Structure 1
Amino acid sequence: MAAQYKGANDEQGQKETIGTLFSLSFIVSIIVTIAGLLVYSPLFSLLQVPAEAMEDACAYMQVICVGTIFVFGYNAVCSLMKGFGDSKSPLYFVTIAAVINVFFDFLFVGPMGMGTKGAAYATVFSQGISLVVSVIHLKQKKFIFDFKLRSFAVQKEKLIIILKVGLPTALQMVIVNISYLLITGVLNTFGVSVAAASGIGLKVNTFAGMPCWAIGQAVTAMAGQNMGAHDTERVKKTTRYGLLINTFATFLTVVLVQIFAEAIIMLFDPAGTEVITEGVMYLCICCSINSLVYAVMYTLDSFAIGAGSANIAMCNAFWDAVIVRLPVCWLLAFTMQMGL
């Protein structure tokens, strides 16, 4: 919405959207924090997290849940900057966060011996610092929003528009992540080695998908600005180029993962040859031709969101994650006894 108001040169619309977004993000982050603290323990039990990992998992989630407000605030600021066409500043902020996170990881997990909980504290501290730095940056840049209390008023009209676009996108992410959680629960039934291998594989797959998501976000912002300016030809051109770049970037990433799968798994210091073997198998299957299909789908979904039709992306996610993935997972893993 910020991108569309920017494209239409509507400053008042931009200000009202920003204020409503910040207030909405704060309220939702509090709800998510409370919900997270209440459900993580029974959820881990439902997902059959191995007993030896349960204590660390719970300790990690306690800290991460409390830090939710920083995640929401940081993402709100960065999404606005990207919507207005500034993708460099969020890069600087996340770089600062990464350096701080690594430093505190070594300090808390190493010399201070805080284990998994220390890693969670490092993550929350880095996210909080990123949020503060991003807000200071916006104030110094004389951002269109003045950060005075009255500016945070929730505008009913803008709230409805944000929810119209945001709720389907949120449901899209919830559907995808719930399906991953359920599959994680299935994988946990095969023992610690499989759980560790698939955990590493998922991290690598997520990392490999970052170019795809970055290009998709660019398509969303550019499509939104050009929709606001009523330049539909440029919207089409943006989407076509997004498809070409995304497919090419994803192809290169897939080739690298396929060639160096074992070396990548070894970076995570796997506990035993079984984890290595299963981790390599995971990458060879889950980061291959399917990634190219996903790159095309995600680019088109990003265009749909930028154009204000987030329902399309939500329906795609539901079809992919629920209608196909879960039944096929159960069929192959158990009925056909293929396991991991």
Structure 2
Amino acid sequence: MKDEQNLTTGSVSKKLIIFAFPLLAANLLQSFYSIVDMLVVGNIVGETGLAAISNASMISFIINSICIGVTMGGTVLAAQYKGAGDERGESETAGTLFSISLIASIFVTILGSLAYRPIFQALNVPAASMREACGYMKIICRGTVFVFGYNAVCSVMKGLGDSKSPLCFIAAAAAVNIVLDLILVGPLGMGTEGAAYATIFSQGISLLISIIYLKRRRFIFDFKLKHFTIRRDKLAAILKIGLPAAVQMVIVNISYLLVTGMLNNFGISVAAAAGIGLKVNSFAGMPCWAIGQAVTAMAGQNMGANDIERVKKTTRIGLRLNILITLIVVITVQMFARQIIMLFEPGSQEVIKDGVLYLRVCCGINSLIYAAMYTFDSFAIGVGSANIAMINALLDAAIVRLPVGCLLAFAAGIGPLGVYIGQAISPVLPAAAGLLYFRSGLWESKRLIRYTGDGEG
């Protein structure tokens, strides 16, 4: 395909930035239309709707994290085959990934549909928001197959070096989602359920557009039923990366879910404010995530090409870019924290106050440490050591965020601020562990494919 990039040659800085920019735009668009959900619901339904989406979003994040984690194995494997020049390996990787994504989406749909209500009850979702939260999640679970399908397609494309096409697909989804939000939540009076329908319909449109586009461009996989075949060796390699990556993301998102449950104990204003704060914090992290995804793809291709020095250079440059861009974003958020929160809930002074506090603590200097952590995690996944990122997620969530937040909020009586402090300091340990692994050199023989030096994997 014309848009595929060979990330094993040329200027590392230039290739990394050019590859990351469409990913950043796609991430921003995806985050933007989820924020539009909250903007529309907040201004039309009010704080009960915000609290409902805040809690439901936590489960949605877990579903998405399973999807992104599993399909990330496809990105890394496709990238290493691309670097090794093995087109058959690329095609078989795509077929295997699409097949297991379809199967996984069915299981996740069933599990999510059975689990969301008990989870909401365990999290003490405010009674005024329970019905809306359940209605939202019921609809979101039905669209899981679209999420898996879209991410599987985009994962392979990113591994092959094409970050531009996914941007076009997500742009179409964002446009559809925003229009439907405004129609379904507002004039049609469907409330939070309208926002959920807008989300899954837009994801389905995005998947359909991506398949049509790729078939016309003679993609390495033609989407014919007979080619949806699971290759055992490709499955093993994808799961070697995908399962730890999925576990990593699930751990992180479950920790945020439990944090949301802690904050629910302090009332609906705090719950709504934390939901807004998390959305804004996620939005602020988009540049970091885009560069991290670029590091993963670029490290993967260069591992496939057996160019260890270029992998190291990619990681160092990615780290510098992430810290610089994150610093700019943090300064902006801190300068306009109140105005940002007021976009979502201009009428509640309690929500505004609690939301500003969240941003002051959770989107500050700690974000620079998070940028380092995410860079090293992305590098580890790209070279085939996703288990390192999984361990770092445990350090982040289970060792620091949840215990510290719980102790400070309840045992020490600090309240919501204690939860925010636990979240703010959580990336310190995993960032240090990631740096040690990068410097150790233990990863240099971790490639997923056999390198022969003649272009065959």
**TM-score computed with the length of structure 1 as normaliser:** 0.99
- Correspondence for 2:68: none
**Structure 1 match to 2:335:** 259
**Letter of the 1:285 counterpart:** V
Equivalent residue number for residue 200 of structure 2: 124
Structure 1 consecutive aligned stretches of length 4 or more whose deviation exceeds 2 Å: none
Unaligned runs of 5+ in 2: 1-76, 417-457
1:54 equivalent in structure 2:
130
Report the equivalent of 1:302.
378
**Equivalent residue, structure 2, for 1:15:** 91
In the TM superposition, 1:266-277 aligns within 5 A as 266-277=342-353
Deviation digits for residues 297-339 of structure 1 (CA, Å, limit 9, x no counterpart)? 1001101100000011000000111111111011110111111
| Cα distance in structure 2, aligned partners of 1:215 and 1:137 | 25
Instruction: For residue 25 of structure 1, report the CA deviation from its aligned partner.
Output: 0.4
Asked whether the equivalents of residues 260 and 271 of structure 2 are also in contact (C-alpha less than 8 Å), the reply is: yes
- Deviation for aligned residue 1:271: 4.1
Contact 2:345 2:351 in 1 (8 A): no
Structure-1 separation of matches of 2:313 and 2:228: 36
> Does residue 174 of the first structure (1) align with residue 246 of the second (2)?
no
Matched pairs, number = 340
Give the equivalent residue in structure 1 for 2:273.
197
Structure 2 letter corresponding to 1:330: C
* 1:143 Cα deviation after fit: 0.6
Counterpart residue type for residue 343 of structure 2: L
1:1-340 alignment runs, 5 A limit: 1-340=77-416
Query: Please, what is the CA RMSD of the aligned residues?
Result: 0.7
Deviation at 1:248, TM superposition (A): 0.6
Instruction: Give distance in 2, aligned partners of 1:270 and 1:190.
Output: 20
Task: Give per-residue Cα distances to partners, 1:198-220, cap 9 Å, x unaligned.
Answer: 11100000100111111000000
Q: TM-score, normalised by structure 2?
A: 0.74
Paired letter, 2:355: G
The amino acid across from 1:118 in the alignment is G
- Displacement of 1:269 in angstroms is 2.2
1:239 maps to amino acid:
T
Measured after TM superposition, the shift of residue 45 of structure 1 is 0.2
Instruction: Give 1:234 deviation, angstroms.
Output: 1.0
Question: Aligned equivalents of 2:125 and 2:365: distance in 1?
Answer: 30
> Any gaps of 5 or more consecutive residues in structure 1?
none
Amino acid at match of 1:296: A
